[in-house]
Structure 1
Amino acid sequence: MAFKIPKEITPQEVAEQLKQGKDLMMLDVRESAEWVEGHVEGAVHIPLGQLMQRYFELDESQEVIIMCRSGNRSGLACELLHEKGYKVVNMTGGLSEWSDFNKLVR
């Protein structure tokens, strides 16, 4: 049976929560070259290929919003972290759907 992501959130919902000042645990699993091109301010960067060696850097007590470029790698990261006991949320559409008014930091 395929893994079903327990919870999803849109880029617009993440942006709105950030504007409201919510303290979000965000994980960006894109590659380093993608990260330096721009990322969401406050996100933690662990490339998907390093996640199993570095997942312990994340706070297991906090829900983790996971993002990538399109939502595919973040879906896989959700599965991997869910198996480790983390509460995960996949940001559907990824940063490619992050609206122009939601700027990325470099």
Structure 2
Amino acid sequence: MGILNALFGGNNSNEKLVSIVKEGAFLVDVRSPGEFAGGNVKGSVNIPLDQLQNQLSKFKDKKNIIVFCRSGNRSSQAKSILERNGFNNVTNGGTWQNINTIVTK
């Protein structure tokens, strides 16, 4: 396993992500609106990292949450913010392209 995967949450196999996506996970892209407009995952919502703290109500009652971004760095931060606020069902999906590959299978 690479150091970047270990640091940014990519250490979960795609099999786990596939399973969570199939269960109807709440897909959250934490990139900027401009990045999101340039390409995004079907069915995902855009909640930029800098707005996450003010949007916590959108995460309530979600069985599983997958956060992702361009590289996995911001999604790692988003996962930490959500966990500090009591959400223990959060998975760092890494890059939006990775999640997009899973969703479009």
User: With structure 2 as the length reference, what TM-score do the two structures score?
Assistant: 0.71
Count the aligned residue pairs: 96
More helix by share: 2
| Identity %, equivalent residues | 27
Deviation at 1:23, TM superposition (A): 1.1
- Unaligned runs of 5+ residues in structure 1 are none
User: Residue 91 of structure 1 aligns to which amino acid in structure 2?
Assistant: G
User: Residue 89 of structure 1 aligns to which amino acid in structure 2?
Assistant: T
Secondary structure of the 1:26 match is strand
Q: Which residue of 2 aligns with 1:78?
A: 79
Please give the alpha-carbon distance, in whole angstroms, between the structure 2 residues aligned to 1:7 and 1:95. 12
Please give the alpha-carbon distance, in whole angstroms, between the structure 1 residues aligned to 2:61 and 2:10. 16
Root-mean-square deviation (Å): 3.2
Checking the alignment, whether the CA contact within 8 Å between 1:71 and 1:91 is kept in structure 2 is yes
Deviation at 1:56, TM superposition (A): 1.1
Deviation at 1:47, TM superposition (A): 0.4
After superposing on structure 2, the runs of 4+ consecutive aligned residues of structure 1 that deviate more than 3 Å are 4-14
Checking the alignment, whether the CA contact within 8 Å between 1:7 and 1:89 is kept in structure 2 is no
Deviations 1:7-55 (A, max 9, x none): 95456754x445xx43111111000001011111111210001011112
- Unaligned runs of 5+ residues in structure 2 are 1-6
Pair 1:90-2:98 in alignment: no
